[in-house]
A and B are shown apart, each in its own frame.
Chain A
Amino acid sequence: MMIWRIIPFTHLSASENMAMDEAIFRVNQRKYSPPTLRIYSWCPPSISLGYFQKTFNEVDVSACSRYHIDIVRRPTGGKAVLHENDLTYAVIAKEHNPLFTPDILGTYKIISGCIADALSELGIHAEMSVDGRTSGDDSLKAVCFSSPSHYELLVNKRKICGSAQIRSRGVFLQHGSILLDFDPVRTCALLVPRDGDRERQIERLRESVTSVYEHTGAEISMVKICHVLQRSFEKKLGIELVEGGLTAEEEALMTRLIKDKYSNNKWNMESKGTLNGY
C-alpha cells in the first residue's frame, strides 16, 4: 500500500498557508518526497487570488482592511476565494504517480472523486462539473465559486468545492476549497463588483453557490470533516495517510517564501516577483 504524508490540520495565516504548500511543491520537484495531503483553514480569514488575477481589479482592498481580511495571491490558477468558512486542501504529488492519469484533467477527476465520497459520507450528493473555465465566462468571472471548472463539485448545479492547479518539473500542486458555510452578501462586500451592480452579483452567487452546512442543516466540526476526508482519500486511492511534519528543507524554504513572497506586496498586490529560482 502506498504511503502518503498528511500534514496535521492547522489554522495558519494566508502567507503561511501558501508558503507551506509551495515549499512542499518545490522540494518535491528536486528530490523524492512522498505525495502529501494538507487540510487546513485560515486565521485570520483571507481572500486568495488566482496566480494571474490583479488584486485591485478583483478585491475591495479597503473593505478587506476594515474587516481584517488578509489578501494573498496563490501559486495556483483560478479565481478569488474567501477563506472564512471553508476547509482548504492541497495535494502535492509527482505527475506520474501511478494513482493519477497522465492527462491533467484526470488528476482533477480523481481528487474530486475523493472529496465527493467524503461529502457523501456527510449525506451530501455532489456531482462533478464537466465544463471548463474559458476566457468567455460571464460578468462574475472574478469569483471562483461562480464558475465551475473541470470536475469541480456541484450540488443541484450549485458549486460546493472548487479547485485549481500549478504544474512544474513533473510535480503538481492542487488546491481546493470546500465551502462549509456561504454568505454571498459578505463575499460581495469584499470583492469589486464586475459591472458595478453588487445586488445582481449577490443574487447570482446565491443561485450558483452552496455549502456543506446548507445541506447538513447544522454545523459539523472541522476536525470531524477532516477525518471523513482522510478516510475518503485512503479508501478511494488505496493509500495509507501517515501524519508527518515538514522536513528541515521544507521548513527553511517555507520561511523564505513567507518573507520574500507571500508577505510581500510586490507578489500579493502588484503581481510581481515570480521568477525567483525557488
Chain B
Amino acid sequence: MKVFPDDLLYNREHAWIRVESELATIGITDYAQENLGEILAIELPEVDSYVERDEPFGTIESAKGVFELMSPVSGEVINVNEDILDDIGIINSDPHDTGWMIVVEMKDLEELDDLLDSREYHDFVIKEAEGN
C-alpha cells in the first residue's frame, strides 16, 4: 500500500520535499520507488553544487531502466545522504525517511507554492496510473 505523508510537499516528477526553515530535504516518493522496482544504482550531486528547480539533481537505475530525478526547488546542496550510497536498498525500504537523498538551502521560498500537498499528489498519481 502506497504512503503519502502529510508533512511533505511533492512535485509531479515524484520527488518529495521536507521543509525546515530554508532547508529542504529531498527524496523520491513511495509511489516512485514502487514503480521503479529494485533500485540498483544512484548518482547524486556533490555538496556545494547547485540544483535548479525542474532540472535533474540525480540519476537512478532500477531493474526497469535509468530515471532522472527532478529537483522540486533551486538551491545549494549542503548535504548528501552517504548512507544510501553504501546501502541503496534503503531507498526502496524507507523512501520518505532514512532514504532521503540531498538537503538543499533554498534560494526562493516562493517555489514551494507550485508544489503539491499530500492530497493533491495522491490524486495526481491516481490519474497518472490511469494513463491520463
Give A contacts to B, CB under 8 Å. 50-52, 75-77, 96, 98, 101-105, 108, 132-135, 149-150, 164-169, 172, 274-275, 277
Q: How far is the CA of A96 from the CA of B129 in the complex (A)?
A: 10
Asked whether A96 and B61 contact (CB < 8 A) given A135-B38, A165-B66, the answer is no
Cα distance A51–B60 in the bound complex, in angstroms = 10
Are B56 and A76 in contact (CB-based, < 8 A)?
no
Q: Is the CB of B64 within 8 A of A105?
A: yes
Q: Taking the complex as formed, is B1 at the interface, i.e. its CB lies under 8 A from any CB of chain A?
A: no
- Chain A residues contacting B58 (CB-CB under 8 Å) are 275
**Contact of A77 with B43 in the complex, beta carbons under 8 Å:** no
Report chain B residues within 8 Å CB of A133. Answer: 40, 63
Set A51, A105, A164: member contacting B59, Cβ < 8 A: A51
Q: 5 shortest A-B CB distances, which residue pairs?
A: A165-B65, A168-B68, A52-B41, A77-B66, A166-B66
Most chain-B Cβ atoms within 10 A of its Cβ — which of A77, A104, A134, A277?
A77
What residue in chain A is nearest B127 (Cβ atoms)? A102
Say if the beta carbon of B128 comes within 8 Å of chain A: yes
Which of A105, A132, A168 is in CB contact (< 8 Å) with B56? Answer: A168
Q: Once the chains bind, are A132 and B67 in contact (CB under 8 Å)?
A: no
Q: Contact at A132–B64, with CB atoms within 8 Å?
A: yes
Measured CA separation A101–B40 after assembly (Å): 24
B70-94 vs A: 1/0 string, CB under 8 Å?
1000000000000000000000000
Give the residues in chain A near B70, CB-CB below 8 Å: 168-169
Inside 8 A of A275's CB, which chain B residues have their CB? 45, 49, 51, 55-58
Which residues from B are CB-within-8-Å of A51?
59, 61, 66
Q: Report chain A residues within 8 Å CB of B57.
A: 275
13 residue pairs of the A-B complex, CB under 8 angstroms, read A50-B61, A52-B41, A52-B61, A76-B65, A96-B132, A102-B130, A105-B64, A133-B63, A165-B65, A168-B56, A169-B70, A274-B43, A275-B45
Once bound together, how far apart are the Cα atoms of A134 and B59, in whole Å?
A: 18
Query: Which residues does chain A contribute within 8 Å of B128, judged by CB atoms?
Result: 102
Q: How far is the CB of B11 from chain A (nearest CB, A)?
A: 11
Cα-based distance from A52 to B58 in the complex (angstroms): 12
CA distance A75 to B65 in the complex (A): 10
Which residues from B are CB-within-8-Å of A101?
A: 131
Q: How far, in whole Å, are A167 and B28 apart by their CA atoms in the complex?
A: 15
Q: Is the CB of A104 within 8 A of B38?
A: no
Least CB distance from A73 to B in Å reads: 11
- Asked if A103 contacts B66 (CB within 8 A), the reply is no
Contact between B61 and A104, CB atoms less than 8 A apart: no
Separation of A268 and B98 alpha carbons in the complex (Å): 32
Select from chain A the residue with minimum beta-carbon distance to B89: A135
B13 within 8 Å of A by Cβ? yes
**CA distance in complex: A108, B37 (Å):** 15
Q: Identify which of B36, B63, B129 contacts A149 (C-beta below 8 A).
A: B63
Least CB separation from B12: chain A residue: A170
A83 to chain B, nearest CB (A): 19
CB-CB < 8 A to B36: which residues of A? Answer: 104
A77: B residues at CB distance < 8 A: 61, 65-66
Tell me how far the C-beta of B13 lies from the nearest C-beta in chain A, rounded to whole angstroms.
7
Residue of B nearest to A104 (CB): B64
Looking at the assembled complex, report how far the CB atom of A236 sits from the nearest CB atom of chain B, in whole angstroms. Answer: 19
Query: Does B52 sit at the interface, judged by CB under 8 A?
Result: yes
Q: Nearest chain-B residue to A98 (Cβ)?
A: B131
In the assembled complex, B21 has its CB within 8 A of some CB on chain A: no
Q: Answer whether A134 and B63 are a contact pair too, CB < 8 Å, given A101-B131, A166-B68, A167-B68.
A: yes
